[in-house]
Amino acid sequence: MTFKEKLKTKEFIVTAELFPPKGVNIDAFLKKADILAQVVDAINVTDNQRASMRVGSLAMCRLLRDRGIETIMQMTCRDRNRIALQSDLLSANVLGLNNILILSGDHPNVGEYAGTKTVYDLDTIQLIKTARLLETGVDFAGKKLNGSPKFCLGAVANPTAAPIDLQILMLEKKVESGIEFVQTQTVFDVIQYREFFEKTKNLKVRILPGVSVIKSVAFMDFLKKLPGVNIPQAIQERIISAEDPFQEGLNICAETIKELKAFTSGVHIMAIGIEEYIPEILKRSELI
């Protein structure tokens, strides 16, 4: 069953995220992908995340497809104009890559290329609509295509954003534009996410809340500085007082998944460098 087909079922969906390498040595990336392929429904490949230059998502997704692994190619609006965005969408389809997650992309000021010019020729909603337009056999300029692509489109949402009603309005527009799934920013506060869930549960789209692993006290301090990340005080205290913060972080992630599974239809795991531990997290959360 493909990822697109599974979206139409009531089965619980698990996706995970991998960063392409910064350089051409892809051995570690492929090793992690082979591990994840045994336990997840699809693997996201990020697109120069945190505005850090890396191997392109398109290339890495194709390599994973050749290994029989289902992928979700991330595509940001930050680095390309409407010509390049459409070209990459067609290229992905030609290479058999149909699952596309569309997002704005982190601003260069957060990475090592501060001062880099951004593009943002199209915003996320415009790009979603453009992808759906290509499926009709016409491009953004109104020119006919010789053969039409087919996509399974997704977008992101931030369940901790304030005001939340504005975030939900943006999500509703993305759904109206044609997305089929949503992956959210990291969720640590399940009670807070439940409020977001209740306000969005009638939208005709599969929403996969994101979960992450707090690897250490220092990493927790880093996460707390990121926009849209809310770590409840009780969780912070567990990490600070833990004899082994790493193992406690794995436990917290597994517990969060178990709590979310009670009322959601899937999760998106962002392990950020320790993806080989995702099978263990899923075991602790009783998903495998």
* Mean per-residue pLDDT pooled into runs of 10, the chain (288 residues): 97 98 98 98 96 97 98 98 98 98 92 91 98 98 98 97 93 98 97 97 97 97 88 98 98 98 97 97 97
Please indicate, yes or no, if residue 286 is contained in any of the structural domains. no
Q: What tokens were used for 251?
A: 């436990």
Q: What pLDDT, on a 0 to 100 scale, did the predictor assign at position 242? A: 98
Please indicate, yes or no, if residue 249 is contained in any of the structural domains. no
Please indicate, yes or no, if residue 236 is contained in any of the structural domains. no
Domain region containing 92:
3-212
Contact 13, 208 (CB under 8 A): yes
Q: How much is the pTM? A: 0.96
Q: What pLDDT, on a 0 to 100 scale, did the predictor assign at position 225? A: 86
Q: What pLDDT, on a 0 to 100 scale, did the predictor assign at position 226? A: 84
Contact 152, 180 (CB under 8 A): yes
Q: What are phi and psi of 17, to 5 degrees?
A: -120, 140
CATH number for the domain harbouring residue 22: 3.20.20.220
Q: What pLDDT, on a 0 to 100 scale, did the predictor assign at position 162? A: 86
Please indicate, yes or no, if residue 238 is contained in any of the structural domains. no
Please indicate, yes or no, if residue 146 is contained in any of the structural domains. yes
Q: What pLDDT, on a 0 to 100 scale, did the predictor assign at position 227? A: 79
Q: What pLDDT, on a 0 to 100 scale, did the predictor assign at position 228? A: 79
Please indicate, yes or no, if residue 125 is contained in any of the structural domains. yes
Please indicate, yes or no, if residue 183 is contained in any of the structural domains. yes
Please indicate, yes or no, if residue 278 is contained in any of the structural domains. no
Measuring CA to CA, which residue among 91, 21, 14 is closest to residue 60?
Answer: 21
Residue with tokens 């699809």: 42
Q: What tokens were used for 212?
A: 């992450």
Q: How many domains does the chain have?
A: 1
Q: What pLDDT, on a 0 to 100 scale, did the predictor assign at position 110? A: 83
Measuring CA to CA, which residue among 258, 261, 185 is closest to residue 250?
Answer: 258
> What phi-psi label fits residue 142: left (phi over 0), alpha (psi between -120 and 50 degrees) or beta?
left
Alpha-carbon span 100 to 270, nearest angstrom: 17
